[in-house]
Structure 1
Amino acid sequence: MSWTQQPDAAQLTGFALITGATAGLGASFARRFAAEGRDLVLVARDAERLESSAADLRSRYPVEVEVLSADLGTEDGRTAVADRIGSVDRSVDSVVNNAGFGLYRAFGKASLAEEERLLDVNVRAVLALTHAAVNAMCPRGRGEIINISSVAGFVPRGGATTYAAGKAWVTTFTEGVASLLDGTGVRATAVCPGFTHTEFHARAAADMSSTPSWMWLDADRVVADGLADARAGKVVSVPSRRYRAILVLIKLLPRSVVRKAVARR
């Protein structure tokens, strides 16, 4: 089986597991999968919010919705989710590694513990859950792994240094995994959106007032484009033409110019 002959959505009938599933892109992915008739496993830290999200989805779609409260910043939390991905009786055919957060402070201003927690959630969890997915899906010969990265990973951010570096890792890591999965019936895609209307920036206490309106994306559109790209066999998905054009420009500019442009962003 060649890379372009990966299974389509109709062949993926097991559960779709989504981390960070109660808001933003995670909630959009959950609705999208539910509309396809897929049973869900919703993962987040807030148990009360998880139950509320699950109840809403059950009322709108004829699907089963499991909830799994887990803190992906801890080893116990990552292990709990990895174990669910590895379930044989209630197989997971889609894993969306969406959970993550940003600090939006110049490096050195946040504590080392905060920076390390960011890496635990944004990087270590992606590593652990992708590892679990590969080992569960490859023997079955089907599955999709969607890792939410960011266009921030293509530039050396000054104001979000660890976040941008972590997203660069997510994209490169996913590319490497995808190349190894070629021919297995399992695919991996890094979805790299730009600024998106979610709770992300509010939670990071980031002042986004100077960001032009044209740079903002709709969460449902990002999910639709990302899933379409994944199912078309694309390994790196950059939703929206405007951000694809920005990335072309970034690649053409000298790296020193790019660093100066985003030194404090």
Structure 2
Amino acid sequence: MARGRGAVINVASLLAFAGDLPPDPLPRRAVYAGSKGYAVTFTRTLAAELTGTPVRAQVVCPGLTATEFHLDAGDTPVSGDRRVHEEGGMPAADVVTASLAALETGEVVCVPGLTDAGAVTRLAEAELDLRAGSERRLAPRYAHGE
């Protein structure tokens, strides 16, 4: 803020939107997906709070990315001659390219492989519908005794 410009780019994952997906092929993902969901919500909220300032916030949510992430526990370097991932994944440079392009156009949630950008808008609209549940009275489906 003091410099009069800047950006915060957080890295999440498409697993931020995993919700109630079945556990295959990724069992025991609740903590990972939950932390990525937090990063998305935190960044979207921060971006809203930064409206009107010279600082922008963005969260990039890549799918499978061609890095060493899935190859090793992280305690030793992965040699350059090993395949990065059996299924491939998007090159890391493309994830960065998408993120920077989205930052330029003001996208707060960047999903590098998502063709339908309207999906993010529809998510925000669904959340608005959910926030309509801030009423003083129970919704009829919960008010059994009334």
Q: TM-score, normalised by structure 1?
A: 0.36
The residue identity in structure 2 corresponding to 1:229 is: A
Structure 1 match to 2:35? 166
Equivalence for 1:139: 2
Amino acid at match of 2:90: L
Q: Which has the higher helix share?
A: 1
Alignment of 1:238-257 (within 5 A): 238-241=111-114
1:233 aligns with 2:106: yes
Question: What's the counterpart of residue 218 of structure 1?
Answer: 91
Based on CA coordinates, which of the two structures has the bigger radius of gyration? 2
Deviation of the 1:241 alpha carbon: 3.4
Taking the aligned partners of 2:17 and 2:73, their CA distance within structure 1 comes to 20
Counterpart amino acid of residue 162 in structure 1: V
Q: For residue 140 of structure 1, what is the amino acid of its counterpart?
A: R
How many Å separate the matches in 2 of 1:241 and 1:139? 34
What amino acid is aligned across from residue 139 of structure 1 in structure 2? A
Q: Which has the higher contact order (CA 8 A, sep 6+)?
A: 2
Higher deviation after alignment, 188-197 or 150-159: 150-159
Identity of aligned residues (%): 41
- Give, in whole Å, the separation in 2 of the partners of 1:237 and 1:199: 22
Quote the offset at 1:235 in angstroms: 0.4
Query: Counterparts of 1:28-107 in structure 2 under 5 Å?
Result: none
Q: Deviations over 1:8-60 (max 9, x none)?
A: xxxxxxxxxxxxxxxxxxxxxxxxxxxxxxxxxxxxxxxxxxxxxxxxxxxxx
How many residue pairs were aligned? 104
1:182 aligns with 2:45: no
Specify the code of the residue in structure 2 equivalent to 1:225.
A
Cα shift at 1:226 = 0.8
Q: Detail structure 1 runs of 4+ shifted over 6 Å in the superposition.
A: none
Query: Which segments of 5 or more consecutive residues in structure 2 lack a partner in the other structure?
Result: 75-84, 124-146
Match of 1:47 in 2: none
| Cα distance in 2 between the residues matched to 1:241 and 1:153 | 14
Cα root mean square deviation, aligned: 2.4
Distance (whole Å) between structure 2 residues aligned to residue 241 and residue 151 of structure 1: 10
Structure 1: unaligned runs, 5 residues or longer: 1-137, 252-265
